[in-house]
């Protein structure tokens, strides 16, 4: 996925739904991010094609609750953002959606207590080995690009060091 000279709709809580992503694309966004979905939540879902509105829905089993919705129109520019703290669980969840999205992004920046207490989001920034495990697992086993969102660390040197380590994650 090439981000150079692109307009990107960043991930936003309660806003990054399919209608908003399509609207952003209509107004020039080259890449759009969905809202963060926690791997545990996605694993409780089943993929359903909604022919009535032309979407692909990931619906929580036993309910009509749509956890993630996408469509063919955005297939080549939507990024699925996932919250995770486990490489195997992340891969299982990512495999569920990877044929319907352009890339998978791991949220390593959310400072909310829900994410941090679950070892996700910004909590990952203090666990470079776990970051390596998650990204390596995904990159080795998926055919879509894998990215991650990080937050600035206490020093710019630490941030650059972490970014370089992430960049060197290999298949």
pLDDT, tens only, 81-124: 999 999 999 999 999 999 999 999 999 999 899 899 999 999 99
Torsion of Cα atoms, 164 then 104 then 128 then 157, to 10°: 30
User: Which of 122, 134, 144, 121 has the alpha carbon at shortest distance from 165?
Assistant: 134
**Does 161 score more than 90 pLDDT?**
yes
Residue pair 80/106 in contact by the 8 Å Cβ criterion = no
pLDDT of residue 14: 86
Q: Which residues pair with 147 in a beta bridge?
A: 105
Residue 55: band (very low, low, confident or very high) from pLDDT cuts 50, 70, 90: very high
User: Which of 116, 115, 125, 112 has the alpha carbon at shortest distance from 158?
Assistant: 125
Q: How far is CA 131 from CA 17, 57, 149, in A?
A: 27, 29, 11
User: Which residues are CB-contacts of 116 (< 8 A; sequence separation ≥ 6)?
Assistant: 110, 122, 123
Q: Which residues are catalytic?
A: 110
- pLDDT tens sequence across 28-54: 999 999 999 999 999 999 999 999 999
pLDDT of residue 105: 98
Q: Kind of pairing, strands 103-108 and 78-83?
A: parallel
Question: How many helices, marked H, and strands, marked E, lie in the chain?
Answer: 6, 9
- Residue 25 structure tokens: 């694309």
d(CA 130, CA 132) in angstroms, rounded, equals 5
pLDDT of residue 16: 93
- pLDDT tens sequence across 3-26: 999 999 998 888 999 999 999 999
pTM as predicted: 0.95
Mean pLDDT of the chain: 96
Kindly report the length of the chain.
Answer: 171
Of the chain, the percentage scoring pLDDT greater than 70 comes to: 99
Residue pair 72/54 in contact by the 8 Å Cβ criterion = yes
pLDDT of residue 31: 98
């Amino acid at each position: 996925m090439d981000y150079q000279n692109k307009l990107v709709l960043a991930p936003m809580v309660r806003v990054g739904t399919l209608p908003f992503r399509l609207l952003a694309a209509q107004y020039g966004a080259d890449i759009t991010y969905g809202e963060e979905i926690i791997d545990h939540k996605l694993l409780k879902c089943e993929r359903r094609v909604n022919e009535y509105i032309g979407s692909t829905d990931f619906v929580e089993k036993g309910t009509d609750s749509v956890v993630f919705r996408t469509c063919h129109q955005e297939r080549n520019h939507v990024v699925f953002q996932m919250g995770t703290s486990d490489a195997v669980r992340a891969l299982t969840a990512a495999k569920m959606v990877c044929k319907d999205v352009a890339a998978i992004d791991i949220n390593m920046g959310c400072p909310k207590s829900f994410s941090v207490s679950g070892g996700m989001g910004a909590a990952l920034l203090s666990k470079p080995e776990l970051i390596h495990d998650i990204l390596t697992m995904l990159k080795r086993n998926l055919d879509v690009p894998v990215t991650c969102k990080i937050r600035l660390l206490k020093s710019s040197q630490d941030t650059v060091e972490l970014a370089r380590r992430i960049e060197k994650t290999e298949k």
